[in-house]
Every structure is written in C-alpha cells, then in structure tokens.
Amino acid sequence: MKIKQDFVTNSSSTSFMFSFKGDKLDLFKSLLNHKEKFDLNFDSYDGTHASIDVWDVIRSMDSVIRTYNDELWIHPTIQNIDEKIKMLEKDINEFSEKEKEDEWYMEYNNDIRRVVKKLKECKEKGLTSYLEIGFGDNHGVISGQGIGSIMDYEGRDIEIDSDDLVLLTEQDR
C-alpha cells in the first residue's frame, strides 16, 4: 500500500527499464522484434477479460515519451545510457554515513548497483539509450484499465536480454 496526499491506496505500478540503441523509433523497432512478449491477456477479479499486443504498447508509449524539457520533467525521456549510469552512481554516494547504515538504504543501494551493473553490460552490447516508463492500474505514467493494468499485472515478468533490447522490470508496491 502507498500513502498519497492524505489517503491510503493499494495502487501499484511496474517500472519498465528499456536499454536499446538509438532513438524512439529504434526502440519501437526493437519492441516489434520481441512482439510475442507483449501479447498479454488479463482476467480481472470481476470476470472482465482484456488483451493487448505490441502495437498497443507502442502507441501508449509514443503518446507519453517526450524529448528532454525541464518543464516536462514528469514525462519519460530517452536518456544516454552513460548519463543514466552517472546519475545512478551519484545516487549511491549521496547518503550520509549514518544513512548508509540504514536497512532501507542498503536495499536501495543494492537495487541501484544491480541496475548499474546491467546498464554497463548493455553498453558492452553497444546499446546507447535508456528509457524508464511506469505502467499501472491507477498509478504510473501509463495507467488505468487496459494497457496500464495489463502491463502492470501480466507484463511485470517480461524478460528480454538480446543484442537489440534489454528490458528490466521493477515492481513498485
């Protein structure tokens, strides 16, 4: 559960971290190379059935990805993988010595180190770009019934580690 501005919610989302070579169109081409991973079906507790495919995912991502702009900080942007690694390594080192002894920090630090290690492996494959985007039932940049919920619940276990695309997921629960 999460607390959001004075109320409690069971809101959840899954962050999808894509590493690829090039720009947004190159990312979408890579997604098409792995289209079977995005053929997802979801049966909700009330008996509703929904399904999506890679084109649904591409359309939803295309509508929210922005080029870098300080005023659009909430929208996901494609970043240079080297810059992302530098930013994450800075996060690792920003805590005080007292905070570094905290259990939460140690877990957070381990998670960041895992991502940095994976991004460095992506660089070795020649991947140059990074995009993180959240899908969720009612939380995340792409949220709501349909694509948001299906990607959160059914897509959270997608694993891709190929020469053109690496996908990591992280559940935000």
Q: What is the pLDDT of residues 62-75, one digit of tens each?
A: 988 865 555 555 66
Residue 96 inside a domain? The answer is no
Residue 112 inside a domain? The answer is no
Residue 87 inside a domain? The answer is no
- pLDDT for 73 equals 54
- pLDDT for 127 equals 98
Residue 35 inside a domain? The answer is yes
Residue 115 inside a domain? The answer is no
Q: What is the pTM of this model?
A: 0.82
- pLDDT for 63 equals 87
Quickly list DSSP for the chain.
-EEETTEEE---EEEEEEEESSSHHHHHHHHHHTGGGG-EEEE-TTS-EEEE-HHHHHHHHHHH-B---GGGTTS-B-EEHHHHHHHHHHHHH-S-HHHHTSHHHHHHHHHHHHHHHHHHHHHHTT--EEEEEEEESSSSSEESTTHHHHHHHTSTT--EE-SSEEEEEEEE-
Give the domain range for residue 35.
2-78+126-172
Number of domains the chain is built from: 1
Q: Is 49 exposed, middle or buried (0-12, 13-18, 19+ CB in 10 A)?
A: exposed
Residue 55 inside a domain? The answer is yes
Note down pLDDT in tens along the chain; length 173 residues. Answer: 444 444 444 557 899 999 999 999 999 999 999 999 999 998 877 777 889 999 999 999 998 886 555 555 566 889 999 999 999 998 888 766 666 677 887 888 888 899 999 999 999 999 999 999 999 887 788 887 789 889 998 999 999 999 999 999 987 65
Residue 154 inside a domain? The answer is yes
Residue 150 inside a domain? The answer is yes
Q: For residue 66, which of 75, 57, 58 has the smallest C-alpha distance?
A: 75
